[in-house]
């Protein structure tokens, strides 16, 4: 496993366990003790019976004792449950890869990932959860429907402990390191699980009873079938019918930007992935770098290059690698996995399109990969050259209609799509503005304008740190004003129009009227003097 909620697909090996129903766990409480305090967890066996049973079983067996909350992102979540964190023979770089030796099929539900929610970590394979879990530090609704929620923490003490753990220094916060393992706690001793106890609620008479958790009407995961366009990453390609489309939270360049996972065949799920990295060179240099990256695996006899060739993929020059690899799963069985990897260099970016499947199923589904690469488009390139292949007007029309399009400028300013500020904008759009016809119409028109310039602004932010900080300062008044919408109920077209016009006028006042008034006042004072 990777140290994040997702794994690179070819490292995924799934083994199902038998489902049960565990109504008796409705009154069960698990107490997790750490040097930073205690957390009391209650469960939702009605929506995730298998995950609840698994977590309680592991807790009773002492599985979680001495494990470490190995991934801490303040304002997002804390993640734990990896047995490798208590193995002295494992380095911190290995934390996040361990599991109990089996996996559990997903039990996606409509409970929102609000603060205090306990949900299962998994890889890109929806059915790959095992023992690792995460506790939401601040509302993270972009995870809704894509991870199995199975519990939540209760009591003030629990939330105080959560805050202490989330505020621990990490390798990234102390050293500035931003690679694999950057989110590990700098002082792991403060994040260690010293004891886990399973009790009944009746044994804790002072434990508060919370209201039912909030639910979402969001459909669990987007499924493929035809053309898929992602305006955040500036790509478009065909996807297989019914395959699950996911956009993992990225912490390093090895994490795919987009994962399209198919139904499990045997022990793994086939997958199509897109990974995008900056590249100031050319395709030949990208090919050379790719070979250098995989050479250690080749030298170790883990990966074998079967073939490579230059191809044309939907008009783009591309280099295709066909490789196979041997991996050992948790049952010490050797898995033979085949990969097809197409490298495309365009617009100072390297697009790595990959198909993964077992050897026995590879050829049965490789036509899906061919369809993917032969339909692939780099939209950001097209927007800079509107006369090539598609008009600017057509591109605007496409991007304006994409569900879940993101704020490119805010994402670049705050460094990640998982930043609280970016998620706030997404949630405001989806939970308030897009709930009415007038709000939807506004977003359609706004997107046509916004996506005409935002890619260029976002790219300049990434290249110019000073400009990036200036954008942050500029966005602060806007974000502050938009928080007002969190305190109102939008139940009608009139209300969204009224509040929307009010917010627009407020921002006009802050960004234009107030500065103009200040300038006039300064000029008048100068004249008087």
Mean pLDDT in residue range 339-367: 92
Q: How far apart are CA 47 and CA 389, in angstroms?
A: 47
Distance CA 135, CA 160 (A): 13
Q: How confident is the model at residue 17 (pLDDT cuts 50, 70, 90)?
A: very low
Backbone angles phi, psi at 425, to 5 degrees: -65, -40
* Secondary structure (3-state) at 382: helix
User: Of 111, 102, 210, nearest to 153 (Cα)?
Assistant: 210
Question: Could you tell me the pLDDT band of residue 186, with boundaries at 50, 70 and 90?
Answer: very high
Greatest mean pLDDT among 60-64, 257-261, 445-449, 462-466 lies in 60-64
Sign of CA dihedral 430, 129, 245, 344: positive
What CATH class is the domain 222-384?
A: alpha beta
Domain ranges of the chain: 9-203, 222-384, 392-517
Measured in Å, how far apart are the chain's first and last C-alpha atoms?
70
Please check the confidence at residue 14 and state whether its pLDDT lies above 70.
Answer: no
**pLDDT value of residue 447:** 62
Note the pLDDT of residue 448: 58
Q: State which fold the 9-203 domain adopts.
A: Cyclophilin (2.40.100)
Closest of 139, 118, 146 to residue 55, by C-alpha:
118
Instruction: Name the 3-class secondary structure at 402.
Output: coil
Residue 43 to residue 92: CA distance in whole angstroms: 30
Q: Residue 389: pLDDT above 50?
A: no
Q: Could you tell me the two tokens for 81?
A: 């449950």
- The pLDDT score that the predictor gives to residue 79 is 96
The predicted pLDDT at position 59 comes to 97
- C-alpha 135/C-alpha 153 separation (Å) is 8
**How far is residue 216's CA from residue 141's CA, in Å, rounded to a whole number?**
9
Which is nearest to 226 in space by CA: 375, 108, 351?
375
151 Cβ neighbours under 8 A, 6+ residues apart: 30, 41, 42, 43, 44, 52, 55, 117, 118
The pLDDT confidence band at residue 125, using thresholds 50, 70 and 90, is: confident
- CB burial of 412-437 (b: ≥16 within 10 Å; e: otherwise) equals bbbebbbbbbbbbbbbbbbbbbeebe
Rounded Cα distance between 405 and 222, Å, is 13
**What is the mean pLDDT of the segment spanning 109-120?**
94
Which residues have C-beta within 8 Å of that of residue 12, sequence separation ≥ 6? 123, 124, 125, 128, 268, 269, 271
Q: What is the predicted pLDDT for the residue at 219?
A: 53
Is pLDDT larger for residue 257 or for residue 204? 204
For tokens 């931003």, name the residue. 178
């Amino acid at each position: 496993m990777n140290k994040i909620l997702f794994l690179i697909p070819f490292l995924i090996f799934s083994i199902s366990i038998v489902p049960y129903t565990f109504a008796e766990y409705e009154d069960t409480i698990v107490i997790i003790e750490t040097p930073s305090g205690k957390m009391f967890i209650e469960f939702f066996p009605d929506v995730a019976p298998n995950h609840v049973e698994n977590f309680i079983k592991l807790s009773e067996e002492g599985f979680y004792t001495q494990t470490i909350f190995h991934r801490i992102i303040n304002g997002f979540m804390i993640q734990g449950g990896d047995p490798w964190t208590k193995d002295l023979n494992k380095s911190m770089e290995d934390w996040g890869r361990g599991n109990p030796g089996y996996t559990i099929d997903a039990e996606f539900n409509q409970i929102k990932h609000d603060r205090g929610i306990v949900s299962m970590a998994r890889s890109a394979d929806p059915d790959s959860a095992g023992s690792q879990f995460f506790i939401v530090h601040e509302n993270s609704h972009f995870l809704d429907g894509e991870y199995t929620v199975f519990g939540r923490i209760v009591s003030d003490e629990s939330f105080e402990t959560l805050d202490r753990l989330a505020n621990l220094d990490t390798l990234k916060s102390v050293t500035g390191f931003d690679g694999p393992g950057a989110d590990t706690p700098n002082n792991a001793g403060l994040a260690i699980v010293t004891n886990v106890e399973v009790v009944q609620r009746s044994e804790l008479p002072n434990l508060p009873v919370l209201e039912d958790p909030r639910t979402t009407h969001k459909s669990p995961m987007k499924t493929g079938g035809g053309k898929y366009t992602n305006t955040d990453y500036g790509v478009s390609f065909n996807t297989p019918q019914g395959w699950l489309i996911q956009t993992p939270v990225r912490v390093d360049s090895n994490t795919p930007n987009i994962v399209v996972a198919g139904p499990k065949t045997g022990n793994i799920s086939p997958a199509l992935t897109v990974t995008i990295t900056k590249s100031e060179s050319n395709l030949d240099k990208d090919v050379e770098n790719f070979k250098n990256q995989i050479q250690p695996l080749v030298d170790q006899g883990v990966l074998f290059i079967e073939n490579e060739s230059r191809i044309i993929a939907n008009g783009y020059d591309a280099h295709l690698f066909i490789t196979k690899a041997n991996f050992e799963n948790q049952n010490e069985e050797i898995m033979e996995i085949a990969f097809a990897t197409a490298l495309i260099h365009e617009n100072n970016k390297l697009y790595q399109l990959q198909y993964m499947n077992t050897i026995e199923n590879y050829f049965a589904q490789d036509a899906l990969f061919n369809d993917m690469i032969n339909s692939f488009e780099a939209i950001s390139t097209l927007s800079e050259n509107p006369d090539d292949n598609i008009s600017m007007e057509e591109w605007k029309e496409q991007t304006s209609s994409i569900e879940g399009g993101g704020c490119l400028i805010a994402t670049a300013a705050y460094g990640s799509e998982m930043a609280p500020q970016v998620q706030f904008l997404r949630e405001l759009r989806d939970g308030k503005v897009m709930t009415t016809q007038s709000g939807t119409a506004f977003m359609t028109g706004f997107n046509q304008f916004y996506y005409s310039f935002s890619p260029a602004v976002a790219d300049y932010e990434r290249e110019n740190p000073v400009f990036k900080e200036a954008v942050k300062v500029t966005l602060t008044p806007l974000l502050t004003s938009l928080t007002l919408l969190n305190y109102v109920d939008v139940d009608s077209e009139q209300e969204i129009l009224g509040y929307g016009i009010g917010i627009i006028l407020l921002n006009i006042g802050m960004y234009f009227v107030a500065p103009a008034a200040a300038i006039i006042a300064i000029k008048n004072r100068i004249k008087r003097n």
